[in-house]
């Protein structure tokens, strides 16, 4: 046992000692409830004046004006936006290109819709700049008939940001082959010092072929309100709304009011939040790098780090269980993001700083115990397995 | 023009002059937010202690104990429960039996899933007791290979309650043919004096083939929090949870706290609420019955009334538009619930009482203006159409 306070790296800590929700969010929610039916029963796509407000903020943020509130839909979380965007564009039998590793739901939604997935690799550990996307593979997928491409930027789980050149190439190829791009930019407000972020909306890619997804669940810690948005051409937003009407009706009416705090945070609040995450990132990547044989890329945005562990004497799922039971640490196995990533774990380091440092040290120690070399040395009659 | 205050009969009025949310619900929500991550990041199926609480209440309410909290999932609204229940049980090409008329989403979800719909008629206007379901048609559908049956009770839009005999027959047939039943009991707490309500969970139907859906959006006016639940066997609940993980992740975490008010309302609160609706029901059915040629069945539960209008000189969609523009009244056309119901409209009478009465009088007047006979008499050069 390596005792210590429970740290759940599978999601961020929104408690007050870590990264609490946007100031004023609860007050605005309460105002929403008090305003009654107008906030409870919004249009299925979300309340119009809130969509108009968001269209203005997000147009500026993403580098291309959003002409109409009808180019935007409010959804139950970014997850809801992703599901609707994919379901409104992908039918059974369609081919869809999906980055590997990437957010676990991308391929599960494709599978639910009966689509055929083509993996697009990112070589995130071996490039110094950008995500390391295999553009040849991407073009071949498009040539072979993929009409949709889904990816997250910053990438979840690795935290790498696609370079401006990569985004330009993705735009060019998608335009050339008539591919619809669904880009999950959930973490695009949380970009670390020294890195640039390029929105696909800034490129030459036709807006009629692009759906951009965001939400205030992460950087702003508003996950408990289940809010997300998608920006796209009116006809796709309309299809998404029709689907939303049968899947969940609308994003929770009262919660939608909280979106009025988005992009209206107190000045310096976002920059302090980024700085707070950057410190923890630096702390824990330093600890991880001290582990012999471990490879890790510094996250450039978002709050995930995705170390590739040295070869262990136990399978990944058992190591993850051992972390939980022996170290009081919860992490997400890499196989959630790519079936081939059986040597990696994902940590969401949006946590109390000291707790995250201590927990990462316990992870480092447990790797030491379970690494193949040491296991060989210590082997006794029965193979050592976590309890 | 028939001037008057806007009444939106397409949904209930949750403002304080009509039927506001359960007392204390906002306070409990705030407590949930303050408790932080434990309420924001629940299991995808919903927070366990809340599910355990609901399992106890809903076991008692539905007449059969719910053994484990894992026989229950919390969803984003009853809509979310319905989508997940259908998607977890129905695949492309499956045959599904759906009542006509019934909630609009039933057949739209079936279509989204690629299922083939078999209509089951209810003869709600011509029976005195029960919904008037065509049991012969139901058995034929089951014989022909329908493996799922979806219906609401009380029926939406008509407000009729299936008799104990009908529910017994549905249970018997479903058991005999191995059919899975998805029953939407959203309005089952709002049953008027003189009517009995039979839960399918009380019958001999095997609980392994039954999914019961409910939620606090209607009777309790908590729609703005987007909360619903489904009760079913563990393995189906597990499939629903896996789907929820890709569709919307979870019901809004903070909102889930509000479920602690459900079935814990102040004594008399529910009975007063039922009484309040019953008065409005009586008021507006009296006005509707005064219209020559209009047929209506008294709703026995819920807050919908579904009059069949006399033959009008304009198509239903134009009449509904005329109601909106000339009378400031919004209703839902019957075709939303059954393509054949082109002569009916649905009114949700969970409204401020006087406003509902006045608006129903305006509906009655407009029917008078547009009924075929009068139109014939008044016909001038151009056909008369609403603006």
pLDDT tens digits along A40-95: 999 999 999 999 999 999 999 999 999 999 999 999 999 999 999 999 999 999 99
pLDDT confidence of residue A267: 86
Q: How far is B251 from chain A (nearest CA, A)?
A: 8
Mutate to test the interface with A, among B7, B12, B36, B350 (most CBs of A within 10 A): B36
- pLDDT-based confidence at residue A383 (cuts at 50, 70, 90): very low
Indicate whether A209 pLDDT > 80.
yes
The rounded distance, in Å, linking the Cα atoms of A106 and A162 is 18
Q: Mean pLDDT of all residues in chain B?
A: 95
Of the residues A228, A246, A261, which one is the last residue of a structural domain?
Answer: A261
B56-61: long-range contacts, CB 8 A cutoff, minimum separation 24 = B57/B262, B57/B263, B57/B264, B58/B214, B58/B229, B58/B231, B58/B263, B61/B189, B61/B199, B61/B263
Q: How far is B33 from chain A (nearest CA, A)?
A: 8
Mutate to test the interface with B, among A5, A36, A111, A213 (most CBs of B within 10 A): A36
Q: Tens of pLDDT along A59-70?
A: 999 999 999 999
Please indicate, yes or no, if residue B384 is contained in any of the structural domains.
no
Pair type for strands A210-214 and A228-231: antiparallel
| A249 and A306 within one domain | no
Q: How many CB atoms lie within 10 A of CB A348?
A: 23
What ipTM, to 2 d.p.?
Answer: 0.93
Mutate to test the interface with A, among B98, B252, B253 (most CBs of A within 10 A): B252
Is the Cβ–Cβ distance between B154 and B300 less than 8 Å?
yes
Of the residues A261, A295, A322, which one is the last residue of a structural domain?
Answer: A261
Q: Which chain B residues touch A16 with a CB distance below 8 Å?
A: 36
Residue carrying structure tokens 């593979």: A137
| B322 and B281 within one domain | yes
The token duo for B206 is 């095997």
**Where are the extended beta strands (E) located within chain A?**
7-8, 72-75, 95-100, 116-121, 148-152, 180-184, 210-214, 228-231, 304-305, 329-330, 332-333, 345-348
Spatial CA neighbour of B276 closest among B81, B6, B20? B20
Q: Give the range of the structural domain holding residue A77, as residue numbers without chain letter.
A: 25-261
Please indicate, yes or no, if residue A387 is contained in any of the structural domains.
no
Q: Which chain A residues touch B243 with a CB distance below 8 Å?
A: 112
Yes or no, beta carbons of A249 and B79 under 8 Å apart: yes
Please indicate, yes or no, if residue B2 is contained in any of the structural domains.
no
Is the Cβ–Cβ distance between A259 and A73 less than 8 Å?
no
Yes or no, beta carbons of B109 and A252 under 8 Å apart: no
Strand B332-333: give its sheet, edge to edge: B304-305, B345-348, B332-333
Pair type for strands B345-348 and B329-330: unpaired
Please indicate, yes or no, if residue B367 is contained in any of the structural domains.
yes
Q: Which chain B residues touch A92 with a CB distance below 8 Å?
A: 92, 114
pLDDT confidence of residue B372: 81
The rounded distance, in Å, linking the Cα atoms of A111 and A92 is 9
Q: Indicate the DSSP class of residue A345.
A: E
| A240 and A275 within one domain | no
The rounded distance, in Å, linking the Cα atoms of A295 and B85 is 43
Q: Tens of pLDDT along B328-369?
A: 999 999 999 999 999 999 999 999 999 999 999 999 999 999
| B284 and B368 within one domain | yes
Indicate whether A346 pLDDT > 60.
yes
DSSP letter for each residue of A48-96: HHHHHHHHHHHHHHHTS----GGGEEEESHHHHHHHHHHHHH--TT-EE
DSSP letter for each residue of A127-173: -SSS--B-HHHHHHHHHTT--EEEEESS-TTT-----HHHHHHHHHH
pLDDT confidence of residue A385: 44
CA max distance for chain A: 70
Global pTM? 0.94
Q: Which chain B residues touch A20 with a CB distance below 8 Å?
A: 36
The rounded distance, in Å, linking the Cα atoms of B332 and B298 is 18
Please indicate, yes or no, if residue A211 is contained in any of the structural domains.
yes
Yes or no, beta carbons of B252 and A26 under 8 Å apart: no
Please indicate, yes or no, if residue A136 is contained in any of the structural domains.
yes
Yes or no, beta carbons of B226 and A250 under 8 Å apart: yes
pLDDT confidence of residue A374: 55
Q: Which chain A residues touch B253 with a CB distance below 8 Å?
A: 223-224, 226
Q: Tens of pLDDT along B99-122?
A: 999 999 999 999 999 999 999 999
The total number of structural domains in chain A stands at: 2
Please indicate, yes or no, if residue B156 is contained in any of the structural domains.
yes
pLDDT confidence of residue B1: 80
| A295 and A251 within one domain | no
Yes or no, beta carbons of A80 and B13 under 8 Å apart: no
Is the Cβ–Cβ distance between A130 and A108 less than 8 Å?
no
Q: How many residues does chain A have?
A: 387
Mutate to test the interface with A, among B7, B31, B40, B85 (most CBs of A within 10 A): B40
Yes or no, beta carbons of A40 and B247 under 8 Å apart: no
Give one word for B153, left, alpha or beta, with left for phi > 0 and alpha for psi -120 to 50: beta
| B206 and B65 within one domain | yes
Q: How far is A379 from chain B (nearest CA, A)?
A: 38
Is the Cβ–Cβ distance between B191 and B197 less than 8 Å?
yes
With H, G, I as helix, E, B as strand and everything else as coil, classify residue A20: coil
Task: Identify whether A101 is preceded by a cis peptide bond (ω within 30 of 0).
Answer: yes
The token duo for B258 is 């509000």
Q: Which chain B residues touch A109 with a CB distance below 8 Å?
A: 246
Q: How far is B223 from chain A (nearest CA, A)?
A: 6
| B333 and B244 within one domain | no
How many Cβ pairs closer than 8 A exist between chain A and B?
A: 141
Of the residues B261, B288, B311, which one is the last residue of a structural domain?
Answer: B261
| B356 and B311 within one domain | yes
Q: Write a three-state SS string for chain B.
A: CCCCCCEECCCCCCCCCCCCCCCCHHHHHHHHHHCCHHHHCCCCCCCHHHHHHHHHHHHHHHCCCCCCHHHEEEECHHHHHHHHHHHHHCCCCCEEEEEECCCHHHHHHHHHCCCEEEEEEECCCCCCCCCCECHHHHHHHHHCCCCEEEEECCCCCCCCCCCHHHHHHHHHHHHHHCCEEEEECCCCCCECCCCCCCCHHHCCCCHHHEEEEECCCCCCCCHHHCCEEEECCHHHHHHHHHHHHHHCCCCCHHHHHHHHHCCCCCCCHHHHHHHHHHHHHHHHHHHHHCCCCCECCCCCECCEECCECCCECCCHHHHHHHHHHHHCEECEEHHHCCCCCCCEEEEECCCCHHHHHHHHHHHHHHHHHHEHHHHHHHCCCCCCCCC
| B252 and B146 within one domain | yes
User: For residue B289, what are the β-bridge partners?
Assistant: none
Please indicate, yes or no, if residue A385 is contained in any of the structural domains.
no
| A273 and A222 within one domain | no
User: For residue A143, what are the β-bridge partners?
Assistant: none
| B217 and B68 within one domain | yes
pLDDT tens-digit profile, chain B (387 residues): 888 999 999 999 999 889 999 999 999 999 999 999 999 999 999 999 999 999 999 999 999 999 999 999 999 999 999 999 999 999 999 999 999 999 999 999 999 999 999 999 999 999 989 999 999 999 999 999 999 999 999 999 999 999 999 999 999 999 999 999 999 999 999 999 999 999 999 999 999 999 999 999 999 999 999 999 999 999 999 999 999 999 999 999 999 999 999 999 998 999 999 999 999 999 999 999 999 999 999 999 999 999 999 999 999 999 999 999 999 999 999 999 999 999 999 999 999 999 999 999 999 999 999 998 654 444 443 434 444
Yes or no, beta carbons of B26 and A20 under 8 Å apart: no
Q: CB neighbours of A95 closer than 8 A, spacing ≥ 6?
A: A115, A116, A118, A141, A144, A145, A146, A147
Yes or no, beta carbons of B36 and A30 under 8 Å apart: no
CATH number at residue A326: 3.90.1150.10
Q: Indicate the DSSP class of residue A250.
A: S
Average pLDDT over residues A100-106: 97
Q: Which chain A residues touch B251 with a CB distance below 8 Å?
A: 226
| B99 and B14 within one domain | no
- pLDDT-based confidence at residue A369 (cuts at 50, 70, 90): very high
Q: Mean pLDDT of all residues in chain A?
A: 95
Yes or no, beta carbons of B21 and A33 under 8 Å apart: yes
For residue B302, give Cα distances in angstroms to A68, A307, B203, B305, B357.
38, 55, 22, 9, 18
What value, to the nearest 5°, has the Cα angle with vertex B65 and ends B148 and B152? 35
The rounded distance, in Å, linking the Cα atoms of B290 and B311 is 15
Q: Tens of pLDDT along B43-82?
A: 999 999 999 999 999 999 999 999 999 999 999 999 999 9
CATH number at residue A133: 3.40.640.10
Partner residue facing B246 (CB), from A8, A76, A109: A109
């Amino acid at each position: 046992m390596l005792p210590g306070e429970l740290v759940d790296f599978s999601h961020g800590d929104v408690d007050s000692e870590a990264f609490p929700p946007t100031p004023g969010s609860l007050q605005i929610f309460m105002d929403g409830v008090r305003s009654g039916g107008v906030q409870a029963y919004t249009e299925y796509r979300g309340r119009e004046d809130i969509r108009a407000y968001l269209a203005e903020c997000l147009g500026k943020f993403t580098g291309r004006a959003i002409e109409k509130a009808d180019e935007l839909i409010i959804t139950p979380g970014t997850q809801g936006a992703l599901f609707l965007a994919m379901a409104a564009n992908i039918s059974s039998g369609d081919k869809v290109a999906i980055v590997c590793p990437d957010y676990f739901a991308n391929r599960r939604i494709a599978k639910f819709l009966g689509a055929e997935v083509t993996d697009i690799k990112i070589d995130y550990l071996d490039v110094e700049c950008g995500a390391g996307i295999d553009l040849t593979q991407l073009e071949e997928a498009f040539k072979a008939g993929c009409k949709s491409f889904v990816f997250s930027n910053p990438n979840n789980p690795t935290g790498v940001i696609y370079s401006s050149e990569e985004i330009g190439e993705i735009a060019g190829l998608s335009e050339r082959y008539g591919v619809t791009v669904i880009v999950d930019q959930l973490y695009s407000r949380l970009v670390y010092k020294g890195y640039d972020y390029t929105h696909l909306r800034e490129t030459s890619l036709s807006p009629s072929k692009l759906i951009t997804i965001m939400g205030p669940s992460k950087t702003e810690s508003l996950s408990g309100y289940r809010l997300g948005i998608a920006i796209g051409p009116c006809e796709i937003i309309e299809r998404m709304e029709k689907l939303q009407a049968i899947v969940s009706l609308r994003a929770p009416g009262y919660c939608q009011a909280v979106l009025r705090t988005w992009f209206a945070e107190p000045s310096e609040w976002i920059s302090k939040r980024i700085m707070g995450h950057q410190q923890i990132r630096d702390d824990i990547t330093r600890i991880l790098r001290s582990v012999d044989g471990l490879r890790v890329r510094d996250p450039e945005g978002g709050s995930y780090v995705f170390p590739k562990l040295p070869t262990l004497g136990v399978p990944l799922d058992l190591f993850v269980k051992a972390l939980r039971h022996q170290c009081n640490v919860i992490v997400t196995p890499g196989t959630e993001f790519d079936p081939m990533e059986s040597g990696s774990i994902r940590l969401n380091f949006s946590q109390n700083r000291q707790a995250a440092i201590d927990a990462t040290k316990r992870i480092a120690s447990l790797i030491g115990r379970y690494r193949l070399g040491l296991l060989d040395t210590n082997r006794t009659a029965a193979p050592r397995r976590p309890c």
